[in-house]
Structure 1
């Protein structure tokens, strides 16, 4: 599912109007009806609905919703936020319809002092600004946003929260509506998915307003929201006459004294995601543990008892995963760079301490084999690409890093992001219960298992993060987020 910005959204609306031979007003009526139906289904029918409307298309939607709620015998009141003297034609038409009905109280606001106290028992609909918002918000309007936020009422924003922008992070002194839920039209918006803005949007739902599918498909976007449909296009059915050699021989490198458990999680996940064969390289302290805990794997050890050191690999791996619980000792770093040099044509999954070793040796970035997958969490990412000023800057820096080094970056987070240097994919699965020890080790194993089977680095990343999050969602729905531990994830890995 594509993630679109203002101009692309406008293009989709215009082309839909043309293809379906409908008016803009008709398309807006569809949007308003979807909001109305949601409110009827999901809110207390006995509670008062207060709708704050701007003078543009979003406000026009709000007026249409008010009319529909009134016809449904809901208690509705409208406040018009007069931020300029140029209401749109559709706004004026919907306002005229509402005035003529004489069933909804309509109030004009020109200053913050005119807004009465908002009852915490009310339902507030924020229809002041929509996806096209790109203006400065005056102090008195920011005051209105603050009053809405402080009211304790249940707040529903239409399309996006008023005061937020689609393409930039608000400044520290800018105020915006902080809703309980956003009802957005047709496609997700990137600001819902970024840490700096997403934390103010606890819930959001997409409402289908009937934009033409062929139009949406034709719009070029560098941003994609990963859904089940994406997975069905990537997943490859197994040949009935295949054998274990058909699905690759993965090499998993990692572990150190006290951190062999991470390798158990990762190794199990390699196999659970479909690798035909797995060999684990670990220090001697991990041998018995790994042979017992992951009996399907073959285990070889380096000379060191507690830490990894350079070791001869007795086979040609299909893919290599390295870094889990590994430590950053000099001899371990030496092993990492030797493997890069020897297996320069083999894709790697590079995680945890392998990333830390790289960040300590930036001159070695050029040695990373092409098409490798790097899986940093935010702190590890900062060590790789440097400090960013905001989430949009982070995405740009991550893209440049991935493009320069011809690798895939998997940026772990609430909405894990993937970039190949040009495009950005944002994962839709996962939950806060996965913020637990070992969760990232499981992801590394899944990615390695997919790579070893012959999925491309990008396919492995997209399919891997989605499956990882999907496993977490299943466990959380059954046991609760707090009960979730990483070993549970291994048992719930499903690629289809």
Structure 2
């Protein structure tokens, strides 16, 4: 897993690298600036286009000065640097790079407090005003400068972090942030980059390696981690010779009502496609024909009206409940019966989550290590309203530990929160997957993985990843604007086979 560091941990990792590589801080800054410029010149190849670099007087500003010098060395014809001198303080590395820049022909303009802002004719602006050290919202001169640059409507490329944005923690809804078309960030994405609260401020992010000591970074034991493909390749277990359907477990999907059989079909199909040896769907009697027609490989337990069906609990290695189940009293009675009789970890989604939010007495029956899979609104129904996603993560950490459950919070970067306090960010998926029924497919995948004897943590991490990966394989190479959930479910065997290869 790729560790995601907080601002103090980033500074600690920088300091360790400087002391133990060893490398001077100014040379580490040079390395970071070179990595930035290496990406920039490949994607902004027009060397006649004017570029303005806005610098503060800290180390982020020092990066900006070095970047301006390097762009000049790369023969960009019109590079200018604007230094915001809003205090008498400056870092030693900033001062060293300022002297280096003065030995070039790059134009430098200093902006002092209460100055009128200089005319800006460059179509591309590089933001190196403030970096990861920011711990309070912008005010005064910096806030005014950020508002001014935002008003120019230029292409903005931020160095490491957009000015005004916190690397982690709550982002105030009225925060003054320099809106960036692109952020070129160092070593690993910042935690807040993976949350929807940053969408108004960042269009795209690229990570460049600057040689921070990776062994030390991992030793910091950050609870925040990004899931990478190599992690999934290690976790997935290929199907072996001399195995049979019993080897891969029997999963039960409890879902669907008269008007919502689609959710049950998608979830059950995804369960089968992702490898469960046997998949049974517990569906209303009216849905039996649809189930048999949609996928004859699925078995059925029929629900007849409000009558709770007789279920042979010992047959099933996992249960997923909720897609299209409804919130009526008979749904509540069925859910209560399952909780009273089934004591293995289960997957609780959709209407089952809504039932939990309404009938608090159901909570006590949830088996330990079960998995809740809410989207944002369902999460807030369960645990109260939240102003932002950082609050949701902190609540998720608290509730997962207290209730001894896994919480999979759906998002562009779906977040898995464990009872031990680890927070995993999934790194697959795309906007073409934003269609009704995708969550039902994910429920089926995770239920299938539990049936195959993956641990609840593994099932969450693998499930979110292969769900998004299948969507990426359908959408991105084929430039599809929309990927349908049924397509994605059918894609799962191929996606998983590639990852197991």
Aligned to 2:217, what secondary structure does the other structure show?
Answer: helix
Whole-Å separation in 2 of the counterparts to 1:328 and 1:273:
28
Partner SS, residue 137 of structure 1: coil
Partner in structure 1 of residue 355 of structure 2:
357
**CA deviation profile, 1:213-268 (whole Å, cap 9, x unmatched):** 21122111010111112212211222222111011000111111021121111111
Distance, in Å, in 2 between the alignment partners of 1:474 and 1:237 is 20
Cα distance in 1, alignment partners of residues 433 and 359 from structure 2: 30
Q: CA deviation at 1:112?
A: 6.2
Separation (CA, whole Å) in 2 of partners of 1:232 and 1:172: 39
Q: Are 1:385 and 2:383 counterparts?
A: yes
Q: Determine the C-alpha separation between the residues in 1 that align with 2:25 and 2:254.
A: 58
Aligned partner of 1:472 in structure 2 is 471
SS at match of 2:476: helix
Moved more, 352-361 or 165-174: 165-174
Question: Is 1:98 the equivalent of 2:98?
Answer: no
Q: Distance in 2 between matches of 1:334 and 1:137?
A: 53
User: Which residue in 1 is equivalent to 2:425?
Assistant: 426
Aligned to 2:410: 412
Aligned to 2:364: 366
Q: Indicate the SS of the match to 2:64.
A: helix
Q: 1:135 & 1:356 partners in 2: Cα distance?
A: 37
CA contact (8 A) 2:179 2:200 kept: no
Instruction: Determine if the alignment matches structure 1 residue 152 to structure 2 residue 150.
Output: no
Alignment of 1:68-467 (within 5 A): 68-74=70-76, 75-101=78-104, 103-111=105-113, 113-119=115-121, 122-135=123-136, 137-304=138-305, 309-314=307-312, 315-344=314-343, 346-421=344-419, 422-467=421-466
Separation (CA, whole Å) in 1 of partners of 2:143 and 2:373: 39
Which piece of structure 1 moves more, 396-405 or 33-42? 396-405
Cα drift, residue 177 of structure 1 = 0.5
Distance in structure 2 (CA, Å) of the matches to 1:309 and 1:405: 30
SS at match of 2:145: helix
Offset from partner CA, 1:377-424 (integer Å, 9 cap, x none) = 111111101112332221111122211211111111111111013111
Matched residue SS, 2:315: coil
| Secondary structure at 1:114 match in 2 | coil
Report the TM-score when normalising by structure 2: 0.95
Corresponding position of 1:483: 482
1:85-118 Cα shifts (integer Å, max 9, x gaps) = 11111111110011122x1000100146432333
Distance verdict in 2 for CA 1:331–1:443, change over 3 Å: same
Deviation at 1:481, TM superposition (A): 4.7
Number of residue pairs matched? Answer: 490
Alpha-carbon offset, residue 183 of structure 1: 0.6
Partners of 2:200 and 2:273 in 1: how far apart? 33
Root-mean-square deviation (CA, aligned residues, Å) is 1.5
Counterparts of 1:309 and 1:469, CA distance in 2: 37
Contact 2:128 2:158 in 1 (8 A): yes
Any gaps of 5 or more consecutive residues in structure 2? none
Offset of residue 169 of structure 1 = 2.7
Query: 2 CA distance for matches of 1:347 and 1:22?
Result: 50
Q: Which moved more, 1:110-119 or 1:212-221?
A: 110-119
SS of 1:492 mapped into structure 2: helix
Q: Distance in 2 between matches of 1:232 and 1:216?
A: 22
In structure 2, distance between residues paired with 1:284 and 1:146: 61
Q: Distance in 1 between matches of 2:325 and 2:32?
A: 53
